[in-house]
Structure 1
Amino acid sequence: MMSTSSVSVCSQIDVFAIGEYETKLVKPADTVTPKPLLIFTPLEAGEYPVLILLHGYLLNNSFYSQLSHQIASHGFVLVVPQLYSVAGPDATKEVAYVAEITNWLPEGLQQLLPSQVNANLTKLGLAGHSRGGKVAFALALNRVKTDLKLKFSLLIGIDPVDGMDKGIQTPPKVLTYIPHSFNIGMPVMVIGTGLGEVRKNTLFPACAPKGVNHEDFYNECCKPACYFVAKDYGHLDMLDDETKGIRGKATHCLCKNGKSREPMRRFVGGVVVAFLKAYLGGNFSYLMGIKDNENTPVVLQQVDFLV
């Protein structure tokens, strides 16, 4: 049993806007997948690369629906798991869960997609937001021993966080504080937020503190890698405009936010699409346009490329 809902899109070439493909959300029954999943897929017949997107700490995978539809509408299949409901500081099990989900893809994903849609698992990306970014890097760096059967083609950290502060990393530790020490063997993109390291108020710590945030992750990346920091936006500004429930309401009060989520979400979606088109499709024009700060929906505080 599965339930589906669909969304219509307009044909546009702007990576920061909805793309040319109509997309569908597929929600499989939990009994047929290793973890609960949301799958965002184009409806037009074709073969599409696949991106696994990991949620942030104590967040719901459904909070990334608008972002996921945007990326899928440019010709990609997104697999967005719910790794846990409640979790402590140790993310080791989450790394193992992602490996399990990845190993399930060859036999499990295709049967859940529309009959005319084919998943190309030779072009497989891994992305994660916040703690999900840490988990993605930990898996790619083999910080937790797993029996991973598929090879990832690229890695994306969306405002990744490795702990509470420098010296207070949570397991498994990812950062080594040795420049260019990440021997990942694939292209990497790190997206950061200018307000992530700013405290919302005196009651709560910063959501992406200096010493364990995007800057530190990028400093340890090797070539090829790229880095974008959105100046006036916060750690959760790439989530849906409306996030329901207690957790959803908390996303508006725990972290320092920009004026609106929509520009940051469009930026994250667009730069992810540009990165995927570059390293999975060989078209670098979109990524180079963002490097030159062409028509981006946010002001970029920092841009850097390791080539």
Structure 2
Amino acid sequence: MDVSVTDTPMDQLAEALGAEMEAVNALIRERMASRHAPRIPEVTAHLVEAGGKRLRPMLTLAAARLCGYGGPYHVHLAATVEFIHTATLLHDDVVDESSQRRGRPTANLLWDNKSSVLVGDYLLARAFQLMTETGVMRVLEILSNASAVISEGEVLQLTAARDLSTDEDIYLQVIRGKTAALFSAATEVGAVIAGAPPERVQALFDYGDALGIAFQIADDLLDYGGTTAAIGKNTGDDFRERKLTLPVIKAIALATPEERSFWQRTIERGDQQEGDLAKALEIMARHGTLAASRDDALHWADRARQALKPLPDHPLRPILSDLADFVVARLS
């Protein structure tokens, strides 16, 4: 495998899995078609073709190959994972009333909320059709459980949002649902379809879980310090949408009475004024919560790397290890 040293782990993974990813993309295009409702492929293509990295399906392919799989069904599972992911993005943008995704207008803005919700439902149905084609019941269990956990995480986020009593344990439960559940399912099903022994299946589940948590903490941190181009949404959106992410939760736990009043006004009541985002950043800097959250992301990235130890030597293993560093390197 001849890869340049300047390539990122994502690039290396994409190159190593090139032929299989082409098969995944072809299957996605085939299954997102609809003979009777042309809006379905229109809405789906807007998101699927928007230049996403396809990280989750690549994790499924990598896990299957690392475990020695030689059959065709890892492609079905990779497409399944991407459909579930795309469906959740369509639904999330409606719930969050978002206007930008991956640097482009969201589907709900270009079409409407009804189209986004219904097309998301269609993609979930397609995902379940694809996974049944493998004929492996354990795969159905893993992906259907992950779908339930994702929905549960989103509902928990709704109830926890704007509630200053939300603590780090609840935050971890939310991001484990909304992000890590699909990462861990993606890696786990790759191992299961390959018939890997239980300790390797567990190792790949643990890797995906820790990688997903590191990825989401990094994403939440970038909202307070990344560029719009880097994160694909407007910097400060989480604050404007009154989302309680890790650096804010840490700041609230350390807040003075005056700072707590600020958080009550801006997050709980939604009374936001000019300069409030800058003040929020100043408070977080004062208490070191952005740095502390970055340390948490690095901790989870290290856990992901450690999880790979029981796996066999394989050219993909060091790439997956480097990927754990890469998802938090965006914070440097």
Greater helix fraction, Structure 1 or Structure 2: 2
TM-score (norm 2): 0.29
With CA pairs under 8 Å and 6+ residues apart, which has the higher RCO, 1 or 2? 2
Q: Which has the larger radius of gyration?
A: 2
TM-score (norm 1): 0.31
